[in-house]
């Protein structure tokens, strides 16, 4: 994967430019390889391919609001940050939102989950039940799920009160090793899924702790309205082209593929999620800036480059752009896993880190 000076390149956080999401993605790749220049916005219906140009649906840069701010440390109102001499620096690994609108932050440095209410006030701390926690999610029934893909290779289950309920092992029929897991998800029926290499999702069990020996596979992330499987990728490395595929949940038929021209080189995908109404949120880290120095190694970071993160809202019916926000990306080298999450009512919470603090920011792209 491309290494960049911003150090936002932990493989489990971003989908690299060399990845192609699994599912019905070949139409998007074919369209990209057979075209040139700017193309106009086109609607995508009946399983066809559509392309949006760089300005389609764009509303320009928007300043985020701050939902909560934490200092670095181990006390109340603080989040942990670790700077070891011979290991990766760490900051909070992940954040998620429960059905009541409370925000949970995985503060693994302090071995705890920090719970915030809808106003951003800390209302509780829950001990982390695994050795190497990297992601978390909260199911519709309130079950808190914590992913340890490398050490315990399991998903720990906690009640809404934080009491341990059990665990689900990751490895099995369709998942050979925990290290291939790139995300943790739950559906409305209480199923617990993990994402395999940014592609298909594998069912490991349910929130009651019952394992799934068959490890059912589904072709992408399920939208929150329960109708659509989604996957996405960078169409061609080194270009500004990214795509989103939508697959009907009931029939497993391909609904549409839409490709986007961003106007800047796509480095990695940072977000693919929906709100409760089905609106799709796509986050992409892009590279801007001048040419590399004369004679520079083409595989080395470009010191003249700058980076930005584009968050685009997409219509659930055909994927056309509804709006776009541009925000500053995290530039520290902290190891993280999930730093963006979509709220049920719309908008994105973004865990943004500085040397002085960690801000949970609200980003709106409509």
| pLDDT tens figures, 255-308 | 999 999 999 999 999 999 999 999 999 999 999 876 778 877 877 777 778 899
Count other C-beta atoms under 10 Å from residue 161's C-beta.
Answer: 9
Taking alpha carbons only, the member of 323, 317, 311 closest to residue 256 is 317
Average pLDDT on 186-211 reads 96
pLDDT exceeds cutoff 90 at 347? yes
pLDDT exceeds cutoff 70 at 7? no
Average pLDDT on 224-246 reads 95
Its CATH class, for the domain covering 15-363, is mainly beta
pLDDT exceeds cutoff 50 at 319? yes
What does the pLDDT read at residue 51?
55
Residue 82's Cα: distance from chain center in Å? 23
Taking alpha carbons only, the member of 226, 246, 244 closest to residue 235 is 244
pLDDT exceeds cutoff 80 at 327? yes
On whether the CB atoms of residues 342 and 281 are closer than 8 A, the answer is yes
pLDDT exceeds cutoff 80 at 39? no
Q: Which of 77-86, 111-120, 164-173, 232-241 has the weakest average pLDDT?
A: 77-86
What does the pLDDT read at residue 135?
97
Q: Please give the residue that has the higher pLDDT: either 358 or 303.
A: 358
What does the pLDDT read at residue 357?
93
Average pLDDT on 172-201 reads 95
Alpha-carbon distance of 310 to 363, in angstroms, equals 11
What does the pLDDT read at residue 236?
93
pLDDT, averaged across the chain: 84
R_g (Cα) of the chain, nearest Å: 20
What does the pLDDT read at residue 53?
61
Task: For the chain, give the percent of residues with pLDDT over 90.
Answer: 70
Average pLDDT on 323-336 reads 89
17 band by pLDDT with thresholds 50, 70 and 90: very low
On whether the CB atoms of residues 81 and 335 are closer than 8 A, the answer is no
16 band by pLDDT with thresholds 50, 70 and 90: very low
> pLDDT tens, 70-112?
999 999 999 999 988 777 889 999 999 999 999 999 999 999 9
Average pLDDT on 169-180 reads 96
What does the pLDDT read at residue 85?
76
Alpha-carbon distance of 332 to 95, in angstroms, equals 18
Task: For the chain, give the percent of residues with pLDDT over 70.
Answer: 82
Domain boundaries, the chain: 15-363
């Amino acid at each position: 994967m491309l290494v960049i000076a911003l150090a936002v390149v932990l493989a489990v956080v971003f989908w690299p430019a060399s990845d192609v999401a699994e599912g019905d993605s070949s139409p998007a790749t074919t369209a990209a390889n057979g075209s040139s220049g700017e193309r106009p916005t086109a609607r995508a219906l009946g399983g066809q391919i559509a392309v949006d140009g760089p300005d389609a649906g764009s509303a320009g840069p928007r300043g985020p609001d701050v939902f909560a701010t934490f200092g670095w440390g181990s006390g109340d109102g603080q989040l942990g940050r670790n700077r070891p001499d011979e290991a990766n620096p760490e900051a909070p690994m992940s954040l998620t939102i429960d059905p009541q609108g409370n925000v949970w932050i995985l503060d693994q440095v302090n071995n705890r989950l920090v719970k915030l209410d809808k106003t951003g006030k800390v209302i509780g701390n829950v001990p982390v039940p695994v050795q190497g926690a990297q992601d978390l999610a909260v199911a519709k029934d309130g079950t808190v799920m914590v992913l340890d893909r490398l050490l315990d290779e399991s998903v720990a289950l906690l009640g809404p009160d934080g009491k341990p309920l059990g665990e689900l092992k990751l490895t099995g029929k369709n998942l050979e090793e925990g290290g291939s897991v790139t995300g943790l998800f739950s559906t409305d029926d209480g199923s617990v899924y993990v994402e395999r290499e940014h592609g298909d999702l594998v069912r490991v069990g349910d929130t009651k702790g019952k394992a799934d020996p068959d490890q059912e596979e589904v072709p992408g992330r399920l939208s929150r309205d329960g109708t659509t499987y989604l996957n996405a990728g960078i169409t061609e490395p080194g270009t500004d082209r990214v795509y989103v595929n939508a697959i009907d949940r009931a029939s497993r038929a391909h609904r549409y593929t839409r490709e986007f021209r961003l106007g800047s080189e796509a480095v990695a995908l940072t977000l693919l999620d929906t709100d409760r109404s089905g609106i799709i949120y796509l986050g992409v880290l892009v590279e801007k800036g001048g040419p590399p120095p004369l004679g520079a190694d083409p595989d080395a970071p470009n010191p003249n480059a700058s980076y930005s993160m584009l968050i685009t809202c997409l219509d659930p019916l055909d994927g056309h752009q509804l709006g776009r926000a541009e925000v500053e990306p995290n530039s520290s080298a902290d190891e993280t896993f999930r730093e963006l999450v979509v709220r049920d009512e719309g908008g994105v919470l973004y865990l943004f880190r500085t040397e002085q603090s960690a801000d949970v920011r609200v980003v709106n792209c409509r």
